[in-house]
Amino acid sequence: MPSFQSLGAFFFRFRGQLPFVFIGMLLPLAFGFQMELFPEEFSLPMKILSLFFIGLGMLLRVYVVGVKAPHTSGRNRHEQVAQTLNTTGPYSITQHPLYLGSFLIWIGVSIPLNNLIFFLGTVLFSLVFFTMLVRVESKFLLDKFGELYVQWSKRTPVFYVNPLGFIPAKNPFDGIRVLATEYPTWISIVAGLLLTDLLRYFFIESSEYLLSSIYAWIGLGVGLGVGGRFFKYVVVLRWLKRSI
């Protein structure tokens, strides 16, 4: 039987793919039991709430990536990387601001489908998923930074936010790093909203509005993918010769 740590390492390595596997498993159950998350007349305010969660999560992630120390909190898959311990800026109010940002985004993306089972399933999966990642990351940081990590973790909440503990970030905001590394997150958001509209179009309401929305998401996703890779691999790495 695999240990908790090895299971957590598996979640860490495939953290980009597992949510989509889970969604594929959850959708048949969600559509098998059509239970609305909210009445149709509340569609507009719920869409606004959805955009609020997505926007808040995106802003948090952009802030974290922009001010974090180099060679920390990256997109590495096979092992944890942290040359220094982030303790200021977003890391002074919560230990895992990137995960918190992703959680807010997932909640926002799950609202427009208006399916109670899908929404609750997303929340439950998020709690399990991020618990695994947090446990693995916490052990790594404890082993690497010892007492420094212990003191920081005592005063900083694991997953919720304590704004009273805020300490200004040591590093200046790096917009180039954000544009070069965060575009996969934005593509994932677009993919989630595209999936939501596709499901609504084929199984709930085949409206012209949804069809035009689907085409718009596809165009935006392709644009982000092409533009993001060009900026990262051509502009930043080749022309600017910058390490990100």
Residue 6 pLDDT > 80, yes or no?
Answer: no
* Between residues 13 and 142, the one the model is more confident about: 142
Residue 73 pLDDT > 70, yes or no?
Answer: no
> Cα separation of 116 and 203, whole Å?
16
Most confident of 68-77, 129-138, 169-178: 169-178
Residue 74 pLDDT > 90, yes or no?
Answer: no
Residue 78 pLDDT > 80, yes or no?
Answer: no
Q: What is the pLDDT of residue 153?
A: 94
pLDDT single digits (tens) 90-116:
999 999 999 999 999 999 999 999 999
* Between residues 63 and 24, the one the model is more confident about: 63
Nearest to 232 by CA among 187, 191, 193, 190: 187
For the residues 169-182, what does the mean pLDDT come to? 95
CB burial string 111-122: b at 16+ within 10 A, e below? bbbbbebbbebb
Q: What is the pLDDT of residue 17?
A: 75
Residues near 58 by beta carbon (within 8 Å), at least 6 away in sequence? 101, 105, 185, 186, 189
Q: Are 177 and 65 in contact (CB under 8 A)?
A: yes
Integer-rounded Cα Rg, in Å, for the chain is 19
Residue 1 pLDDT > 50, yes or no?
Answer: no
Q: What is the pLDDT of residue 81?
A: 67
Backbone φ and ψ of 72, nearest 5°: -140, 155
Nearest to 7 by CA among 125, 99, 136: 136
Between 18-27, 134-143, 154-163, the lowest mean confidence (pLDDT) is in: 18-27
Mean pLDDT over the full length of the chain: 89
For the residues 182-210, what does the mean pLDDT come to? 91
> Cα separation of 74 and 244, whole Å?
9
> Cα separation of 56 and 142, whole Å?
29
Give the domain ranges of the chain: 4-172, 174-244
For the residues 83-89, what does the mean pLDDT come to? 90
> Cα separation of 155 and 169, whole Å?
16
> Cα separation of 51 and 108, whole Å?
6
Fold (topology level) of 4-172: Four Helix Bundle (Hemerythrin (Met), subunit A) (1.20.120)
DSSP symbols for 146-158:
THHHHHHHHHS-S
Nearest to 209 by CA among 87, 31, 75, 47: 47
Q: What is the pLDDT of residue 159?
A: 85
> Cα separation of 200 and 27, whole Å?
12
Query: Can you tell me whether residue 89 is helix, strand or coil?
Result: strand
pLDDT single digits (tens) 16-58:
778 888 888 888 888 888 899 999 899 999 999 999 999 999 9
> Cα separation of 163 and 165, whole Å?
5
